[in-house]
């Protein structure tokens, strides 16, 4: 009996160290696995951080590129705007000089035109003086004052030979004041009221310019087409054809 107990005690004693070694090995194995997993997770996290940093750098480069493009396009728009304003200024100066040359001929022709007997006959010198004063204001860049002066002239001299000119320059004053809708309306009165006047084609061309500025491109194209149809020869019609190609390339 004692022998059997001794054997059992030996077996138990022998089995204890093996169990302890087995548990320690499992723990070590788990530690290794956790370390491996931690290494993989750290590497994946590092790759994600590197990817995010690279994306941020790419985004920053793209933003800088877009900013450069915007600055370049803004500069081009400013150049084109200045060129357009300069061209319009040259056109206005040309018309002022042409107006000075033609007004004496127009005044002389008006002397032979029958006047309305109801309206009082205006003093030609006073009429010319008021017209010159209004045109001088426009030429001096005082467009608001020029607008009032031309409106007064039109009201005071409803039968004046220079009435088409005064109406045209009233429209130009409104254009310079950026009242484009009103300018287009006033310009349109010249060909509608005096279709045979030399200012009529130019007034239609100016009306189309005002309509473009007022964002009425369709109306501007119609005005230019009417100009070409009504006055097919002359510099105004040639300019109108060029403008239509710009505004509606597929139409011409």
The reply to whether 213 falls in a domain is: yes
Containing structural domain, residue 139: 92-110+122-247
* Domain match, 156 and 238 both: yes
Same domain, 223 and 100: yes
Residue 54 lies in a domain: yes
Q: pTM, whole model, 2 decimals?
A: 0.55
Number of compact structural domains in the chain = 2
Sign of CA dihedral 12, 17, 20, 25: negative
The answer as to whether 11 is a domain residue is no
Q: Let me know whether 76 and 182 are in one domain.
A: no
Q: Is residue 178 part of a domain?
A: yes
User: Do 84 and 99 belong together in one domain?
Assistant: no
Q: What is the pLDDT of residues 15-44, one digit of tens each?
A: 545 444 446 777 777 787 788 888 888 888
Instruction: Indicate if 82 and 102 belong to the same structural domain.
Output: no
Residue 28 φ/ψ, nearest 5 degrees: -65, -40
Segment 128-177, tens digit of pLDDT: 999 999 999 999 999 999 999 999 999 999 999 999 999 999 999 999 99
Q: Do the beta carbons of residue 193 and residue 158 sit within 8 Å?
A: no
User: Tokens 């499992």 appear where?
Assistant: 26
Pick the closest to residue 204 from 232, 236, 163 (CA basis): 236
| Same-domain pairing of 102 and 223 | yes
């Amino acid at each position: 009996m004692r022998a059997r107990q001794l054997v059992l005690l030996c077996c138990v004693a022998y089995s204890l160290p093996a169990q302890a070694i087995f548990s320690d090995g499992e723990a070590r194995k788990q530690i290794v696995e956790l370390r491996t997993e931690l290494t993989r997770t750290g590497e994946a996290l590092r790759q994600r951080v590197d990817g995010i940093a690279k994306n941020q750098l790419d985004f920053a480069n793209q933003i800088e590129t877009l900013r450069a493009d915007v600055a370049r396009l803004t500069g081009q728009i400013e150049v084109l705007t200045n060129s357009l304003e300069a061209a319009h200024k040259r056109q206005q100066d040309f018309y002022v000089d042409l107006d000075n040359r033609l007004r004496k001929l127009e005044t002389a022709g008006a002397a032979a035109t029958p006047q309305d007997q109801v309206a009082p006959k205006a003093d030609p010198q006073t009429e010319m003086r008021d017209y010159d004063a209004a045109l001088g204001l426009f030429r001096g860049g005082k467009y608001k004052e020029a607008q009032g002066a031309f409106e007064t002239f039109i009201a005071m001299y409803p039968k004046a030979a220079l009435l088409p000119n005064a109406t045209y320059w009233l429209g130009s004053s409104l254009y310079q004041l950026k009242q484009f809708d009103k300018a287009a309306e006033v310009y349109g009165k010249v060909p509608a009221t005096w279709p045979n006047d030399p200012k009529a084609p130019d007034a239609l061309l100016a009306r189309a310019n005002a309509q473009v500025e007022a964002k009425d491109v369709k109306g501007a194209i119609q005005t230019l087409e009417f100009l070409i149809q009504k006055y097919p020869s002359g510099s105004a019609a040639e300019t109108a054809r060029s403008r239509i190609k710009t505004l509606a390339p597929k139409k011409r």
